[in-house]
């Protein structure tokens, strides 16, 4: 009854039981941009009976101003998930290989399998950089890169992105979901490479994960193919309106809160290192903290009101992860009182484990 593709994967099943402080999904702990909230309150009921704009023209215009590219170089999706998934159909055929440096955003391997692609998982090197020789050797039709990378928080050197573009003939999907926290982007490379597609989202720094809005930037020819694979009407009328308001009126809100997240991330890193936890230097709004038996640790944290994401067996050769054999907690950074609660809970769980 089911396809072999869906039979081979698990349904995504995050723990959705309510928790006092949820630091598990890297969303914006300060909330949502005020202009977006105002637009949602004011959206006329008449707008709901009709289909939205098929490919979100107004939002493309707003994002063109924000990113500095032409609107024809932008595709909009129902979260960046939607665009990552569609890109695999647009730029590869069943049986083709996609190179995925790991550890990274685990949904990519799932999307690869759902689209009948063969994932070639290539461990990041000791400094969390991509092993470009191994990517080239895999002879991929597609390459997925993520910078800052989830779950490590690490940035890819620009030279690595350029080398992957130059040394493979692949379409390169660069996931910049957390770019606003790093102050770094490779969107400008799109003008030079017709094979680069940069995926972005309003779910993180823009605080709008619940509205499901993502976008991709690439050469207009790439974007048109991507839109074919994605299909029309993926972003609701209300989401599009709120997103336009956020991107045009709330950049100050977004930047101020991204800055707070970065400041608190560094403060939290100091506190964790003081506790002899060798957190990985991050360019995103989360920290990866290697701890033994992360799943048990996270369960105990949750029991006392703090949710974080546990990982085990993270692939890669990075020394920081070798000590715990790839067991780590990923902690979303939020307002400092939440970080204090996290640290107190962390200390309690650790004391109980000793």
**Residues paired with 199 in a beta bridge:** 175, 216
For ligand PMP, the closer CB: 121 or 136 = 121
Structure tokens at 211: 């509205």
Which chain residues interact with ligand PMP by CB under 6 A? 26, 79-81, 105, 146, 150, 175, 177, 201, 203, 209, 214
Residue keyed to tokens 């009854």: 1
Q: Residue 283 phi/psi, 5° resolution? A: -110, 15
For ligand PMP, the closer CB: 185 or 300 = 185
Terminal Cα-to-Cα distance of the chain (whole angstroms): 49
Residue 350: CB minimum distance to ligand PMP, A: 27
229 vs 34: CA distance, rounded Å: 33
- Contact between 326 and 313 under an 8 Å Cβ cutoff? The reply is yes
Residue 14: CB minimum distance to ligand PMP, A: 10
For ligand PMP, the closer CB: 190 or 349 = 190
Tally Cβ neighbours within 10 Å of residue 184.
13
Tally Cβ neighbours within 10 Å of residue 280.
20
118 vs 140: CA distance, rounded Å: 9
For ligand PMP, the closer CB: 289 or 349 = 289
For ligand PMP, the closer CB: 180 or 300 = 180
Distances in Å between the alpha carbon of 224 and those of 12, 55, 115, 194, 229?
A: 29, 10, 19, 12, 9
Residue 276: CB minimum distance to ligand PMP, A: 28
Residue 104: CB minimum distance to ligand PMP, A: 7
Residue 110: CB minimum distance to ligand PMP, A: 12
For ligand PMP, the closer CB: 203 or 327 = 203
Residue 327: CB minimum distance to ligand PMP, A: 20
Residue 151: CB minimum distance to ligand PMP, A: 8
Structure tokens at 60: 């493309």
Residue nearest to ligand PMP (CB): 79
Rg of the chain (C-alpha set): 20
For ligand PMP, the closer CB: 10 or 42 = 10
Secondary structure, 3-state, 68-109: CCCHHHEEEECHHHHHHHHHHHHHCCCCCEEEEEECCCCHHH
């Amino acid at each position: 009854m089911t396809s072999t593709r869906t039979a081979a994967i698990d349904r995504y099943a995050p723990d959705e039981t309510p928790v006092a402080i949820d630091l598990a999904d890297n969303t914006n702990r300060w909330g949502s941009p005020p202009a977006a909230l105002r637009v949602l309150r004011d959206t006329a009921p008449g707008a709901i009976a009709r289909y939205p704009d098929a490919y979100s023209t107004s939002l493309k215009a707003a994002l063109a101003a924000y990113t500095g590219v032409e609107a024809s170089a932008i595709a909009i999706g129902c979260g960046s998930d939607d665009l990552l998934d569609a890109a695999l159909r647009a730029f590869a055929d069943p049986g083709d290989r996609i190179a995925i440096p790991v550890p990274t955003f685990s949904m990519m391997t799932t999307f690869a399998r759902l689209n009948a692609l063969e994932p070639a998982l290539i461990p990041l090197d000791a400094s969390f950089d991509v092993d470009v020789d191994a990517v080239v050797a895999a002879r991929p039709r597609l390459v997925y890169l993520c910078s800052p990378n989830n779950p490590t928080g690490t940035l890819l050197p620009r030279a690595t992105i350029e080398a992957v573009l130059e040394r493979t003939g692949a379409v390169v999907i660069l996931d910049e979901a957390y770019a606003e926290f790093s102050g770094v982007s490779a969107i400008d490379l799109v003008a030079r490479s017709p094979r680069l597609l940069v995926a972005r989202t309003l779910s993180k720094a823009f605080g709008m994960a619940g509205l499901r809005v993502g976008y991709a930037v690439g050469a207009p020819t790439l974007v048109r193919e991507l839109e074919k694979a994605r299909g029309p009407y993926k972003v609701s009328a209300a989401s599009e309106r709120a997103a336009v308001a956020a991107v045009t009126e709330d950049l100050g809100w977004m930047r101020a809160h991204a800055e707070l997240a970065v400041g608190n991330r560094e403060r939290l890193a100091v506190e964790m290192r003081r506790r002899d936890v060798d957190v990985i230097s991050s360019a995103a709004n989360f920290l990866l903290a290697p701890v033994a038996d992360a799943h048990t640790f996270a369960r105990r944290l949750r029991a006392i009101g703090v949710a974080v994401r546990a990982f085990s067996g993270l692939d890669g050769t990075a020394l920081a992860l070798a000590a715990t054999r790839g067991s780590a907690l990923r902690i979303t950074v939020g307002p400092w009182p939440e970080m204090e609660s996290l640290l107190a809970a962390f200390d309690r769980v650790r004391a109980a484990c000793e």
